Amino acid sequence: MKDHLITGIDIGTYHVKVAIARLPKGAKERAVPEIIGTGYAESRGLKSGYILQPADVARSIKSALTQAEKAAGVTIKRAHVAIGSIGLEELYARGEIIPARADSEIVESDIEKVAADSEERIADRIPNRAVLHSIPLRYTVDGTEVLGRPQGMRGTKLEVDTLFITTYEQHVSDLIAAVESVGIFVEDVIASPLAASFVMLSKAQKRAGCILVNIGAETTSIVVFEDTTPISLKIFPMGSSDLTNDIALGLKIPLEEAEKIKRGGMTAVTYSKKQLEDIIDARLTTLFALIDTHSKKIKRDGLLPAGAILTGGGSNLLKVADVAKRVLLLPARTATLELGNKHAKVKDASWAVAYGLCMWGASDHEETSAIGVVKQTKRGILSWLQQFLP
């Protein structure tokens, strides 16, 4: 029997990353896929995650894909793709139904109906948008919250509170078209912050409650977990490039030198270390203040025991964890990507999304992890797209 190959494609504003993983046939339940090839290319034709020049994007994807295929010694025809950008938004809705059976027992069809009812309630609020993920946060039967899923219980009214992750219809269709233009069939599309969380957070962190903060170049994404379930996702239009601009303006130096200083590289520019620290502190304080405001909005400020886990290119900045602790009033640390494989070709956390996509592809719908929670209710963005295909 052939091994099961799984491919993840992370198309970022600055880089395209492709990870190819292998899951041996007959592998034990919940076996971890092994990375056997990676590819990396500079992104062209994108702005803040949006596709402006499809042909340029396709060439970047093809370049990264060719590298990964060569490293793995295989030819890839299918892939899971991540979608990011500030176009990702969250919405909440409550659905309610009366169980259909005469004895009021709740069955699987009732779960499907109440989920559909909650989605119908947001239809008018999301013009030009499509639902990527619908995640049930809590069920209630006759006003009493149910721990777990309510099949088998009896009641006269079933309700569900649902988190919906949405994105622009045009954006997701452009993304899929770019990938498929290089001969790759898109198996699924997943929100980038969720994909990263599959490998950057432990079960204990998700169970206790935590916030994953991914500081990218142009955006910063967060996903909040509680009781192993993602309860909030948000993208902020601020990233490490803003800090580069601040350093250039504050120290009155060229952008190229500001980028070197930000990364801790050597430069001929002389500057005050105190002034640099003040510039970095000011920008990071502004960023984490946005995150804290969102935490207050969802009533989780200061209430996530596992704290803030920082990742992305901007997570290695000077004293970033200290600023996070001070502003969020939570424990905070910079995460590392631990694959537990001495032969792993993925070397740092910037590959978290690509590898998370592989984890998603290898997972079972019935598993009880965060991946399983999302997969059990996956709406199927590709099913939605079928209505527009000839």
| Percentage of residues in the chain having pLDDT higher than 70 | 88
Residue ranges, comma separated, of all CATH 3.30.1490.110 domains in the chain are 89-167
> Is domain 203-334 classified as CATH 3.30.565.10?
no
Other CB atoms within a 10 A radius of the CB of residue 175 amount to 27
Going 295 to 299 to 303 to 304, the CA torsion angle's sign is: negative
What would the mean pLDDT of 350-375 be, rounded to a whole number? 72
What is residue 226's predicted lDDT score, i.e. its pLDDT?
Answer: 95
What pLDDT is stored for residue 217 in this prediction?
82
- Checking if the pLDDT of 346 tops 80, the result is no
List, in sequence order, every residue forming a beta bridge with 130; answer none if it has no partner: 167
The 10s digit of each residue's pLDDT in 258-305 is 999 998 888 888 899 999 999 999 999 999 999 999 999 999 999 999
Residue with more model confidence, 342 or 102: 102
Where does CATH 3.30.420.40 sit in the chain?
A: 4-86+169-200+338-383, 203-334
* Least confident piece of the model among 19-28, 263-272, 329-338: 19-28
pLDDT at 30 over 70: no
Of 101-105, 125-129, 211-215, 384-388, the one with minimum mean pLDDT is 384-388
3-state secondary structure of 254: coil
3-state secondary structure of 285: helix
pLDDT at 368 over 50: no
Confidence at residue 28, expressed as pLDDT on a 0 to 100 scale? 61
Residue 40 has pLDDT above 50, yes or no: yes
Lowest mean pLDDT segment, chosen from 32-36, 57-61, 143-147, 228-232:
32-36
Q: Are 117 and 96 in contact (CB under 8 A)?
A: yes
Task: Name the pTM for this structure.
Answer: 0.88
pLDDT above 90 (res 23): no
Tokens of 17: 């990353």
Residue 118, exposed/middle/buried by CB under 10 A (0-12, 13-18, 19+)?
Answer: buried
| pLDDT exceeds cutoff 90 at 1 | no
More confident position, 122 or 380: 122
Query: So what's the pLDDT on residue 8?
Result: 97
Of the candidate ranges 72-81, 83-92, 106-115, 275-284, the one whose mean pLDDT is the lowest: 83-92
CATH 3.90.1150.10 fits 89-167, yes or no: no
Angle at 11 (CA atoms; ends 9, 15), nearest 5 degrees: 115
Q: CATH top-level class for 4-86+169-200+338-383?
A: alpha beta
